[in-house]
Amino acid sequence: MTRRLHWLAAALLPVLVAGCDWHFPGKPIKTVEPVAGSRAEFDRIYFVNCLGCHGPEGRNGPARPMNDPLYLAVIPDEVFERVTTEGHGVLMPGFKKTPFGGLTTKEISDFTTGIKKFWGDPKKAWNDLPPYAQPEGAGDVALGGKTFATYCGSCHGPDGSGKPDGAGSVVDKFYLDLVSDQALRSTVIFGRPDLGCPDFRGPYPGRPAGQGLTPADIDNVTAWLVSNRVSLDEEAAR
Amino acid sequence: MMSSIKTAWTWIDDRTGIMQMLGPPLKHHVPRNAKWWYVFGSCTLLFFTIQVVTGICLALVYAPSGDSAYDSLLYLDYVVPGGWMLRAIHAWSSNAMVFMMLVHMTQVFLHGAFKFPREMTWIFGVALMLTTLALAFTGQVMRWDSDAYWGVGIGASMMGRIPFIGGWLTHLILGGPIIGGDTLSRFFSLHVFILPGAMIGLIGGHLMLVLRHGISEEPKKGGPGEFVDKATYRAAYKERMKKHGVPFFPDAAQRDMVFCGIMLIVLVVVAAWYGPIGPSPRPDPANILVNPRPDFPFLWIFAILALLTPTIEDYLIIVAAPVVLMVLFLVPFLAGTGSRLASSRPIASLSVVLLITGLLVLSWLGVTSPWSPHMSAWTSDAVPPVFVKGRTPLQLQGALVLQHSQCRNCHSLDGLGGKRGPELGDVASRLSRDQIIRQVQQGDGNMPAFGKNLTAAETDALAAFLYSCHPPGVQPATRPGAQIKQLIELDKARANN
């Protein structure tokens, strides 16, 4: 009799286990949609849309680091939103919502707010920041070449064509064909701190600490870099 | 208490004659050596019974309409107490039934149990196999998620290739020209009414034939029933059962119950551990980011269709599939007599080994589906920092071209990205710079040509980046395969360390 009860209990055990709504590993957990403006929502948008080019944690990607408080302090919100929506230059695609994916206007707006909140340094009092865009007509090409040789030449070579054991060329015709004037200016202002290239405040190799580029220097160097660009179509025609 | 139950049972038996009806089948003699090899059929029946019971419970909540089926699954998963477990047991018992049925068929085939006089038992078994697979397929459609949507799409496309009646058949199954709410209604009818009804009928026939012809002995060298001779087999078998047979109940049934009990526990543990299958994202033909794949029983078909060239597909669907099915049905007529020993039937044994190996390999490929592009890799799989540090501005632009042109959807860097094309993290050790440019511009094999899609600057930047991708200590190739020797030496050095 006792043996029969044991068998019965053993047979009923799986049924009882199956009937209990315990938290077994297989119990589905309802995914909570991230709240708009939250860090989770910001991360979701970044990981799905930006990570590929801008790198993990917003740094160390082939494209400009976005996790850079200086960059986020200088770039105007409307420019950031426009670039995210419509894209910029040759290789930055726009992420406007289409039937096949993309981000809504609200998501882009939340992302702009979120990036400044989570990766920016809004409490810091930034002084003497250069303007994001090149003022119209600004920049002296000759002076820019000299400034480049002085500040950037130790890594990129005095003429910008690169050094064998240093940084690469910034006057390569194909490189200049792929980047916009604004991208060149942004690189002069913000550098690539994640890759060892300083922003306009320095320190520049071989220069005294604290000696950086002035807004006029930035205009000039940008103008000089742009002046190195050649038309590939015209070159091909020749 | 016990005496009351006994009295009640005696009354029921007296009025219905239930024991008189069940007695002969339960007491019929089975071979004494029919031991643990003979439990798989009963276990398959157990899993079917579980599916009927859990399926009835699920049908109380499930809404078989296009706009609410998916939500009713979520309701079962998150709101109904134990609903998720019910779904999990239903889904896993479906997989378990297919698996156990294949084990049962393999055992029957290897033991030569399909031979004379059990040809019809085998034919009923093959029909049961097809019905089980149909139940599994229609069950997957019940989830009405992206896997179901694309699964139906592929099934309909296959059906549409049948000559003359393909279009009509597709229209009939889909309930119209496209996949919609009517499709779900038709598959629901198949899954809940038609196929289970057919299944019960076939099981009844199968069991009736098992009782009629008895269970064949486990073939042993020099043992009884090793050879099947139409002239003598029946009488000899009857004689052996009379002399040496044991009643099915309780002798053989005990083993069935023990095995079924263990499998039941395994099923519940698996269901509790892995949970319900699906649902995957909602069915949306515009969503290209889903990676649909069928349930376990159909992964091998998924792999075959993906790996074969489109020119062979028609022959596979229209010619090969019916021929294979026909051969399966005709097995007892192709080898209906002679030795039942697997060791004396090398072609049969080899066929089983090849079939199982093929199914396992194809199913594994179906799980990993290395041919499927990873459609969001270009924006969501980072270029690993090791491929960014120390690169020139032009090479960094090349990495951006790689992402922007969606090369990462098919190619990985350091294992991250699509797996359809070769890994690019060491491409420079295999291809020279000129070869990289040629490959990008002209494509090769499955790779499209990008010559018209990329400017000269983009191509040059991309080539500059890719030519910087080589393992540390290995120089980039200057001619085809130039650095293979270096790579082999590097592998050896790594292995030694």
Q: What is the pLDDT of residues B387-437, one digit of tens each?
A: 999 999 999 999 999 999 999 999 999 999 999 899 999 999 999 999 999
Establish if A233 touches chain B: CB-CB under 8 angstroms. Answer: no
For residue B476, the model assigns a pLDDT of 87
E-strand ranges in B160-210 read none
Indicate the average pLDDT of chain B: 92
- Six-digit token string for B72: 């009713």
Q: B90-117 pLDDT, tens per residue? A: 999 999 999 999 999 999 999 999 999 9
Mean of pLDDT values over A110-117: 94
pLDDT (average), residues A43-48: 94
Contacts of B364 (CB under 8 A, 6+ apart): none
- Chain A residue with Cα closest to B263: A14
- Residue B254 · residue A6 · CB < 8 Å: no
- Give A196's pLDDT tier (boundaries 50, 70, 90): very high
**Residues A113 and A160 both lie in one domain:** no
DSSP characters over B21-46 = HHHHHHH-EE-TT--GGG-HHHHHHH
Is the model's pLDDT at A216 over the cut of 90? yes
Closest-CA distance of chain A to residue B458, Å: 7
| In a domain? residue A194 | yes
| Residue A53 touches chain B, beta carbons under 8 Å | yes
Q: How many Cα atoms occupy the beta-carbon half-sphere of B119 within 13 Å?
A: 13
Whichever domain contains A86, its CATH number is 1.10.760.10
Answer whether residue A1 is part of any domain.
no
Q: For B11-68, write each residue's pLDDT tens digit.
A: 999 999 998 888 888 899 999 888 899 999 999 999 999 999 999 999 999 999 999 9
Chain B 237-266, residues with CB within 8 Å of chain A CB atoms: 261, 264-265
Is B360's pLDDT higher than 60? Answer: yes
Question: What is the secondary structure of A39-102 as a DSSP string?
Answer: HHHHHHHHHHHTHHHH-GGG-SSSSPPS--HHHHHHS-HHHHHHHHHHEETTTEE--B-BTTB-
Residue ranges in B345-420 assigned as alpha helix (H)? 346-368, 377-380, 393-404
DSSP B324-360: HHHHHHHHHHHS-SEE--GGG-HHHHHHHHHHHHHHH
Q: B339 - beta bridge partners?
A: B227
% residues pLDDT > 90 (chain B): 75
Question: Quick one: average pLDDT of A162-183?
Answer: 93
Q: Are residues A91 and A149 in the same domain?
A: no
Joined together, the tokens standing for residue A79 give: 């420019």
**So what's the pLDDT on residue B445?**
77
Does a structural domain hold residue A23?
no
**Residues A150 and A193 placed together within one structural domain of the fold:** yes
**How many percent of chain A have pLDDT more than 70?**
96
**Closest among B337, B221, B275, B237 to B90, alpha carbons compared:** B275
Same domain flag for A207 and A151: yes
The answer to the question of residue A129 being in a domain is no
Q: What's the confidence (pLDDT) of residue B284?
A: 81
**A145 and A178 within one domain:** yes
**Which of A86, A118, A150 delimits the end of a domain?**
A118
| ipTM for this model | 0.90
* Average confidence (pLDDT) over B76-81: 94
Residue A87: strand pairing partners: A93
Residue B485 has pLDDT above 70, yes or no: no
Per-residue pLDDT band for A208 (boundaries 50, 70, 90) equals: confident
Whole-number Å distance between alpha carbons of A179 and B459: 14
**Residue A106: exposed, middle, or buried by beta-carbon count in 10 A (0-12, 13-18, 19+)?**
exposed
Looking at the domain assignment, is residue A78 inside a domain?
Answer: yes
Q: Determine contact: B467 vs chain A, CB below 8 A.
A: no
Residues of B whose CB is below 8 A from A48: 376, 379-380
Q: And the tokens for B297?
A: 């029983």
Same domain, residue pair A110 and A59: yes
Question: Which 76-95 residues of chain B touch chain A by CB within 8 A?
Answer: 77-78, 81-82, 84-86, 88-89
User: Containing domain of residue A230, as a range?
Assistant: 141-237
What mean pLDDT comes out for the span A91-102? 86
Q: What is the pLDDT of residues B154-187, one digit of tens each?
A: 899 888 988 899 999 999 999 988 898 899 999 9
The 10 Å CB-count burial string (b at 16+, else e) for B127-160 is bbbebbebbbbbbbbbbbbbbbbbbbbbbbebbb
Over residues A190-216, the mean pLDDT reads: 91
Domain boundary among A57, A83, A118: A118
| Whether B289 contacts chain A with CB within 8 A | yes
Does A22 map to a domain? no
d(CA B14, CA B21): 12
With an 8 Å Cβ cutoff, are B399 and A62 in contact?
Answer: yes
The domain boundary, picked from A51, A85, A118, lies at A118
Residue environment code for B22-54, b if the CB has 16+ CB neighbours within 10 A, otherwise e:
eeeeeebbbbbbbeebbbbbbbbbbbbebbeeb
Least Cα distance to B407 among B368, B458, B340, B335 occurs for: B458
Q: Is residue A18 part of a domain?
A: no
- Determine the residue type at A48: V
Cβ atoms of B104 and B324 within 8 Å: the answer is: no
Residues 6+ apart with CB under 8 A from A37: A110, A113, A114
Q: Out of A24, A55, A169, whose CB is closest to B394?
A: A169
For residue B470, the model assigns a pLDDT of 93
What pLDDT sits at residue B452? 87
B379 contacts on A by Cβ (under 8 Å): 48-53
Asked if residue A109 is part of any domain, the answer here is yes
Domains in chain A, number? 2
Domain co-membership, A50 together with A101 = yes
pLDDT confidence of residue A238: 74
Q: What is the pLDDT of residue A20?
A: 67
Are A75 and A110 in a shared domain? Answer: yes
